[in-house]
Amino acid sequence: MAYQWDSSLETGYDKVDNQHKQLVAALNAIIEASRNGKGSDEIFKTLDFLTGYTIMHFADEEKLQIKYDYPDYLIHKRYHDEFKVTVGELTRRLVKEGPSEEMVNTVTTAIGDWLLNHIKGDDFRMAAYVKAKDLEQE
C-alpha cells in the first residue's frame, strides 16, 4: 500500500508540512521501485534518500524546538533518535535478507506507520506550539 497525503497530516506549519510531504513521497518512491521490479540498486538508492531526508527533517524540527524553548524538546528528540536507530536496523535487515517485495513491504510499513503516527501526535503538538510562538514574535 502506497501512502496517501491528505489534510489529516497537515500540522498547519508550512515548512514542517512541506518536509512531511517529501517524506511521504520518498517512502512511496521505495514502494514503487519495488513494485515496478526495479533492481536492488534503485531500492537502496530510494531508501538512502529517505534516510538522509529524515535526518535532515528531524534536525530542522529540533532546531525549531530549541529556538522556541519547546517544553517537550527532549522527549521529542528522543523519539527521533530512537527512530533513526530503527531505520538503521531495518536497512541492515533489508541488506542481509535482500530486498524482496515482502521485505520491502515490511520495512516501508514499519517506517510509514511510525512516521504517520509521529506526525499526527508529537509533530501536531509541536507545530501548534511553534505556530503560536511565531505569531507572538510578529
Q: Which is nearer to Fe ion, 43 or 130 (CB)?
A: 130
Based on the shown chain and the rule CB under 5 A, indicate whether residue 61 belongs to the binding site for Fe ion: yes
Identify the sign of the CA torsion 97, 99, 102, 103: positive
Q: Which is nearer to Fe ion, 56 or 95 (CB)?
A: 56
CA–CA gap between residue 44 and residue 39 (Å, rounded)? 9
**Using an 8 Å Cβ cutoff, are 115 and 23 in contact?**
yes
The one segment of 5-13, 44-52, 54-62, 106-114 that binds Fe ion by CB under 5 A = 54-62
Based on the shown chain and the rule CB under 5 A, indicate whether residue 123 belongs to the binding site for Fe ion: yes
CB of 123 to Fe ion, least distance (A): 4
Q: Which is nearer to Fe ion, 17 or 42 (CB)?
A: 17
| Burial class for 122, CB neighbours closer than 10 Å (0-12, 13-18, 19+) | middle
Q: Which is nearer to Fe ion, 41 or 82 (CB)?
A: 82
Grid-cell match 515548512, residue found:
15
Interface contacts to Fe ion, rule CB under 5 A: 61, 123
